Structure 1
Amino acid sequence: MDPIAKGKLAVESLKSFVNNSLSNKEPWQIVTMTTGAVLASVWFFDFINQDESVPSRLKKTVFRLARKIPAVARRIDSEMSNMRKTFEDEVRHRNEKIDYITNLPESGKNREEILKQVNAYLELGDYDWKKGYVSGTVYFHNPELIELLTEVYGLASYTNPLHPDVFPGVCKMEAEVVRIAANLFHGSPSACGTMTTGGTESILMACKAYRDYAKFERGIKHPEIVLPKTAHPAFDKAALYFGMRIKHVPVDPATTKVNIRAMKNSISKNTCMLVGSVPNFPYGTMDDIEAIAELGRRYNIPVHVDACLGGFVIVFMQKAGYKLPPFDFSVPGVTSISADTHKYGFAPKGSSVVLYSEPKYRHHQFTVTTDWPGGVYGSPCVSGSRAGGIIAACWATMMYFGLDGYVEATKKIVSTTKKIEEGLRKMKGIFVFGTADTSVVAIGSNDFHIYRLSDAITKRGWNINALQFPPGMHLCVTYMHTAEGVAERFLSDIQEELEKILKEPVKEVGGKFAVYGMSQSVPDRSIVGDFTRCFLDSMYYTPSQPNGTANSKSVV
C-alpha cells in the first residue's frame, strides 16, 4: 500500500474511533469537552511559552510556597531584619560626622554656609578615589578641567534642549557631540544618534527602538533580545520596562567571550536584536563582534554593540598603538552602539550617546504624540526636559581634550592595565579571567575563596568590584591609576595579602564579603533580591525624629 493510501486509511480510522467514542454523548457534552480541550491547549501553550523556562518557574513556585511555612518565614524575616540593620548601620557610620537635615531651614543660608556644608558632605566616605584607590567610578580628575566645566555648566544650567527654538545653541552642541562620536566609531554620513543621561538610558533606548522596529516593520509581537550572560543588566531592565523577552547566552569559560554557536541556537523568529560587549563589565573582554554581526546579516537581525564602559578607550587604541579586532560601524551588520562620554570620555556624570547606522532605527527610539491638546509632542529619549548644562559640559570636555589628549590618556590607561595584568599573572594562587582587552583586569582563585582577598585589600583602602558566578574581583583602571606608584602599590598590596592568605587557604570569608559570598549560595534568588532592596532602601536612610523635627545645625 502506498503512503497516500496509508494516510487516508489512518484518517478514516481516527474519524471512526472519535465518532464511536462520542456516539452516546449529548450535544452539550460534546461542546463542553471541545471547549475544555481548546482552553486546556491554549493554557498549556501559554504555560510552556512564557519568558521563563518551566523548571525555573516550578523552582520559584516551590520557594514561594516554602516561604509560607511559619518557621521558614520567621527565619527569613529575622535575617531580613538583621540585613536591614547592617545596611543602615553602614550608612550611619559613613555619615556620622554630619547631622541630617530633614526639614527646610527657617531661613535661607548664605553662599558661604552652603558651600561649606556641600564640601563637608563631599568629604564623607572611606575611600580616597583621587589617589586611585577605587575601581572605575571616577575616570578623570583635574582641578583645571573641573573649574572649566563648573563655569560651562553654570552658563548653561537653565537651558533645555526640549525647546530648540529657545536654546538652539545647546541643541547644536548635542548634535556635534553625536556626530563626533559617530565619526569616531566609523559611522557613515547616515549614522546618527542622541545623547542620553548615561549608559543605562542609551541601552534602554536601543532596546526600545528595536522593539518598535520589530513590531511595526517586521510584525514581531513578542520581541526577544539575545545577549551574552555577561551583558549589562540594563538590558534586563529594558526587557522589564518594555515587555520584551531575554535569552541569556553562555560565554566560553576560558576566554569569557560569548559562545557564538550558542547565540546562533538561541535565535528565533521573535529575535529583535543581538548584543555584544566591547568590553563586558565583569571581565573586560571583548565579544567577537564580527561573528555576531555575521549572524545579524544572515538572519536579518539588528546588532547592538554595548561599548558603554570602554567606548572612549577602544576608539583611540589604534592611534595609541594597540590593535583590536573590528568592533564598530566598520563591521557590516552592526546597527547601533552605546558609549558613555561620562566614563573614558571624561565628561561629568550624566552623559552618554546611543548611535545608529541609519535614521530608520533612531526614528523608532523617538516618542511622538500627535493628538495631545497641548500640541504635537516629540521626545528623543526617556526624558522630556533635559539638562542643557550636562550637554554643554560634555561638549566642552571633548573640546578640552581633543584627539591628541584622548589618545595620550588611552596610552597611559591601557599600558597601566597591561602592566597590572602582567604583574597579577606572575602571582601564585590567582588567575586572570580571559585577557584584559582594554582597561579591566579580573581575577579569581582555585586555591582559596577570592573574596578573602577582596576583604583584605578593602581593609587597605581599596574599593574593588566583586564578581559572582564564578566568584571573582576586578579592577577597572582609570586615569588616576596611571599616576606614578599607584599600579605598583596595588600589585604590592595584592602580593602581600596573597602571601598571608595562602598560609591558611581553607579559611572562611569574613566581613561584609561573607554576606556577598553567602548570597551566591542561596538557591532562592528572590531572597537575594529582597536583600538588594534593603540595600537600596538604606541609600535613602534618614533618622526618625520625634514630632517631625530634625537637628539642622550647621556643619562644624
Structure 2
Amino acid sequence: MAVDKTTFALARMLSSELVTLQSAKTAVFWYLILRNFVRAVRHLRARGLLTAAREAYLVLVRKGFACMLLLPSVRNKVQGELDQVTLDLASKLAPKFPDAPTYTALPDKGLTAADVSAALAKLSDLPRTEWEGGRVSGAVYHGGKDMGDIWRDAFSRFEVSNPLHADVFPGVRKMDSEVVSMCLSMYRAPLPASVIDDGGAGTTTSGGTESILMACKAYRDRARAEFGITEPEMIVPVSVHAAFGKAAMYFGIKIHHIPVDKKTRQVQIAKVRRAINANTILLVGSAPNFPDGAIDDISALSDLAVKYRLGLHVDCCLGSFLVPFLERAGYPTVPFDFRVPGVTSISCDTHKYGFSPKGSSCIMYRSKSIRKYAYSVTTTWPGGVYATPSMSGSRPGALIAGAWASLVHMGIDGYTQSCREIVGAAKRIADGVRKDFAGDLYVLGDPLVSVVAFGSVTEGQGNGKGCAPIYEVGDRMSKMGWHLNALQDPPALHIACTRLTVPAVDDFLRDLRLAVDEVKALEEPGKGSMVMLYGLGTGSAVGGQLIGEMATRYMDVLYA
C-alpha cells in the first residue's frame, strides 16, 4: 500500500512538472510569435507596404541570381565580365610607371635622405588629375598657399606629438580642446562654466565618418544604459551620408531610410514620425546633405525629438564652416544648430571648408552626459586603465596642431569671406543652369550652400523630349577635364564648389553647354564609364549587386 501511495505521489509530481514545462514552452512560443509580430508591424509601419514589398522582391531576385551563379556557364560569363572590368580599373588607377621608384619589400639597404627626397619628388610628379584649376567637385578644400605654409610650421613643431599622452604633450592637449571649443561656439552650444559643469562638449576625430560613428555609438550605449533598449533603431533621410549605414552595420543598429520630397529634397517628416517606435534612439538630418545640397527641416525633426525624447543628430560635415556663416555673409539660411532645442549632436569637418589638413573633424554634443557614452574605457587590462575619446588610440598631434592653426588664422572674418565667395559661386551655377538650360536640365531642390545638383528634365521630371541623358553629359564633361559626382535616384550630377571653383564658374557653364549640345546630337547611347556603371545599377534588380562587387574590386585595385 505504501508503495502504491509513493508511486502515485511521484506520478502526480511528474505530471505537474510536465504541465509546468509544457506551459513554459507554450509561453515562450507565444512570446516569440508576439515579438516577431511586433517587429513586423513596426517594420511595415516604418517602411510602408510598397517599400517593404519592393525590398522583399529585391531579396528574392538576388537569391535567385545567386542560385543562377551556381551554373558554370552563368558564373563563368559573369566572372569574365567582372575580371575585364577589374583589368580596366587597374589600367586606369594602378598603371605601371617604369620611371617611378617601386618598393614592394623593404630595401636591403636603407636609402639616404637625399635618395628618399628624390623618390618622393618622382612620385609627386606622376600624371594626375589637375585639381588646381577648379575642375574637381569637392575633394580638395584649398585654403591657399599661405595656409600650406602654416600647416608645415605646425607639423614641424608637433611632428611626434600624440594626445594619448596628454602629460607629455600639453600643447597638443590644449589645442585639441580649443578646436572643439571653437566649433561648439560656432554652432551655438551651451558652453559649461567649468570642467565640473555639464554643457556643450565634443571630441576631435579623423574625419566625418568617424564623427558620425562616434555619435551613433554614444546614442546606442546611452539607450541601453538609460532606457534598457537592446534592439536600437535610427531614422535617417535616404539622402543622409553613407557613414550612417556603416555605423548601423558596425554597431548593430537597425536603420530606416526615409524618402525625401521630390521637390524640396528634404526628408518627409510625416514618414519620419510614422517610423518612430519604442526602439528608436536617434533621428538624423543633414545641413546640407551630400547628394543635392538640401538642408533638412531641422526644426520639424526637433519637434519630434523633443516629443518622443529622442536624440537628434545634425550632420554638418559638408556644411562645416559655411552654414554657420551664411547669415553673416548675406545669404538666406534656416535653423540648424544647437539653438534648435531638440538638436543633441552635430558633426562638423574642420578639414573641409575649415581648410584644416585632411584627417580632421569634430563631433559635438549638447551635453557631457551624452558624450561620455562615446568614450571607450577598459579598467581590467593588465597594461593599466585604457581610455580613449574616439575610435583611435594614438592620434597624430601634428594634424590637431594644423587644425588649430587653420582656425585661428582664418577667424570669423576669413570664414565669412570664404562663405561669401564659395556660396556665391554655387548660386551663380544654379542660376545659370535654371536660366540657360531650361528644357534640358533642372536644379534639384533649393541649394543654400556649396553643392549644386542637376539632372535631365526627361529623367527627373518626365516632361522633356529626351534631350540630354545626364550620365552621358557627365561623361562628356569628364572628357573636357571636369570631375563631377554622379548621383542616383534621381539620376543627376553635382558639383561641390570650393575656393578653386570660384574663378572657374564661367568655364563650367560654357563646357556644360557644349556637353549638353553634344549629347543632344547623339544618334546612339554613349558608352562612357559613368553611363555603363550607373546604367547597370538602374537597368535591373541585380544591377546594384553587381555594382557592389565592382566596388569591392575597385578597392582591391587600390592596393594592387
- Residue 266 of structure 2 aligns to which amino acid in structure 1? K
Change (3 A) 1:329 1:28: closer
Q: 2: distance between equivalents of 1:434 and 1:370?
A: 50
Q: 2: distance between equivalents of 1:57 and 1:499?
A: 40
Report the Cα offset of residue 67 of structure 1: 2.6
Q: 2: distance between equivalents of 1:135 and 1:461?
A: 11
Q: Please name the residue that 2:486 is paired with.
A: 466
Q: Please name the residue that 1:77 is paired with.
A: 79
Q: 2: distance between equivalents of 1:49 and 1:500?
A: 52
- Residue 419 of structure 1 aligns to which amino acid in structure 2? R
**48-57 vs 450-459, greater mean Cα deviation:** 48-57
Change (3 A) 1:386 1:47: farther
- Residue 151 of structure 1 aligns to which amino acid in structure 2? D
Change (3 A) 1:515 1:99: farther
Q: Please name the residue that 1:430 is paired with.
A: 441
**242-251 vs 101-110, greater mean Cα deviation:** 101-110
- Residue 514 of structure 2 aligns to which amino acid in structure 1? E
Report the Cα offset of residue 59 of structure 1: 4.2
Structure 1 position 354 matched with structure 2 position 363:
yes
SS of aligned partner of 2:161: coil
Report the Cα offset of residue 99 of structure 1: 5.0
Structure 1 position 533 matched with structure 2 position 535:
no
Structure 1 position 275 matched with structure 2 position 284:
yes
**Is the 2:101–2:123 contact (alpha carbons within 8 Å) kept by the matching residues of 1?**
no
Q: 1: distance between equivalents of 2:513 and 2:84?
A: 35
| 1:350-499 alignment runs, 5 A limit | 350-426=359-435, 427-428=437-438, 429-445=440-456, 446=458, 447=466, 448-483=468-503, 486-499=504-517
- Residue 469 of structure 2 aligns to which amino acid in structure 1? H
Q: Please name the residue that 1:7 is paired with.
A: none
Q: 1: distance between equivalents of 2:38 and 2:549?
A: 27
**Is the 2:94–2:558 contact (alpha carbons within 8 Å) kept by the matching residues of 1?**
no
Q: Please name the residue that 2:7 is paired with.
A: none
**Is the 1:290–1:327 contact (alpha carbons within 8 Å) kept by the matching residues of 2?**
yes
SS of aligned partner of 2:347: strand
Q: 1: distance between equivalents of 2:34 and 2:89?
A: 43
Q: Deviations over 1:456-511 (max 9, x none)?
A: 0100111111111221110000011113xx1111110001111122223x631312
Report the Cα offset of residue 127 of structure 1: 1.9
Q: 2: distance between equivalents of 1:94 and 1:475?
A: 31
Structure 1 position 243 matched with structure 2 position 252:
yes
TM-score, normalised via structure 1 length: 0.87
Q: 1: distance between equivalents of 2:318 and 2:133?
A: 21
- Residue 179 of structure 2 aligns to which amino acid in structure 1? V
Name structure 2 gaps, 5 residues minimum.
Answer: 1-16, 192-198, 459-465
- Residue 235 of structure 2 aligns to which amino acid in structure 1? V
**Is the 1:431–1:443 contact (alpha carbons within 8 Å) kept by the matching residues of 2?**
yes
Q: Deviations over 1:196-225 (max 9, x none)?
A: 000000000000000001110111111111
Q: 1: distance between equivalents of 2:452 and 2:148?
A: 28
Q: Please name the residue that 1:510 is paired with.
A: 527
- Residue 451 of structure 2 aligns to which amino acid in structure 1? V
Change (3 A) 1:30 1:208: closer
**Is the 1:231–1:281 contact (alpha carbons within 8 Å) kept by the matching residues of 2?**
yes
Q: Please name the residue that 1:118 is paired with.
A: 120
SS of aligned partner of 1:334: coil
SS of aligned partner of 1:130: coil
**Is the 1:156–1:392 contact (alpha carbons within 8 Å) kept by the matching residues of 2?**
yes
Q: 1: distance between equivalents of 2:403 and 2:24?
A: 65
Q: 1: distance between equivalents of 2:23 and 2:70?
A: 36
Q: Please name the residue that 2:350 is paired with.
A: 341
**Is the 2:426–2:452 contact (alpha carbons within 8 Å) kept by the matching residues of 1?**
yes
RMSD: 2.4
SS of aligned partner of 2:344: strand
Q: Deviations over 1:347-389 (max 9, x none)?
A: 0000000000111110001011112222211110000111100
| 1:145-160 alignment runs, 5 A limit | 145-160=147-162
Q: Deviations over 1:104-149 (max 9, x none)?
A: 2232223333233223323334421111110000111422221221
Name structure 1 gaps, 5 residues minimum.
Answer: 1-26, 542-556
Report the Cα offset of residue 319 of structure 1: 1.1
Q: Deviations over 1:262-309 (max 9, x none)?
A: 111111111100000000000011000000011100111010000001
**Is the 2:299–2:340 contact (alpha carbons within 8 Å) kept by the matching residues of 1?**
yes
Change (3 A) 1:32 1:65: farther
1:129 corresponds, among 128, 131, 135, to 131
Q: 2: distance between equivalents of 1:510 and 1:94?
A: 25
Change (3 A) 1:191 1:95: farther
**Is the 1:127–1:133 contact (alpha carbons within 8 Å) kept by the matching residues of 2?**
no
SS of aligned partner of 1:209: helix
**Is the 2:469–2:519 contact (alpha carbons within 8 Å) kept by the matching residues of 1?**
no
Q: Deviations over 1:306-341 (max 9, x none)?
A: 000112101111111112011000100100000000
Q: 2: distance between equivalents of 1:176 and 1:297?
A: 30
Q: Please name the residue that 1:18 is paired with.
A: none
Change (3 A) 1:497 1:298: same
Q: 1: distance between equivalents of 2:24 and 2:354?
A: 64
Q: 1: distance between equivalents of 2:117 and 2:357?
A: 19
Q: Please name the residue that 2:190 is paired with.
A: 188
Structure 1 position 311 matched with structure 2 position 311:
no
Q: Deviations over 1:125-182 (max 9, x none)?
A: 4421111110000111422221221121121111111111111110110110101000
Q: 2: distance between equivalents of 1:356 and 1:397?
A: 23
**Is the 2:319–2:449 contact (alpha carbons within 8 Å) kept by the matching residues of 1?**
yes
Q: 2: distance between equivalents of 1:72 and 1:361?
A: 52
SS of aligned partner of 1:127: coil
Change (3 A) 1:303 1:125: farther
Q: 1: distance between equivalents of 2:78 and 2:525?
A: 23
**Is the 2:322–2:419 contact (alpha carbons within 8 Å) kept by the matching residues of 1?**
yes
Q: 1: distance between equivalents of 2:479 and 2:30?
A: 59
Q: 2: distance between equivalents of 1:59 and 1:49?
A: 24
**46-55 vs 532-541, greater mean Cα deviation:** 46-55
Q: 2: distance between equivalents of 1:440 and 1:204?
A: 24
Change (3 A) 1:464 1:167: same
SS of aligned partner of 2:373: helix
Q: 1: distance between equivalents of 2:225 and 2:31?
A: 29
SS of aligned partner of 2:304: helix
Q: 1: distance between equivalents of 2:556 and 2:540?
A: 21
Report the Cα offset of residue 72 of structure 1: 2.6
- Residue 290 of structure 1 aligns to which amino acid in structure 2? S
Report the Cα offset of residue 43 of structure 1: 7.3
**Is the 1:130–1:141 contact (alpha carbons within 8 Å) kept by the matching residues of 2?**
no
Q: When the two structures are aligned, how many residues end up with a matched partner?
A: 512
**Is the 1:130–1:480 contact (alpha carbons within 8 Å) kept by the matching residues of 2?**
yes
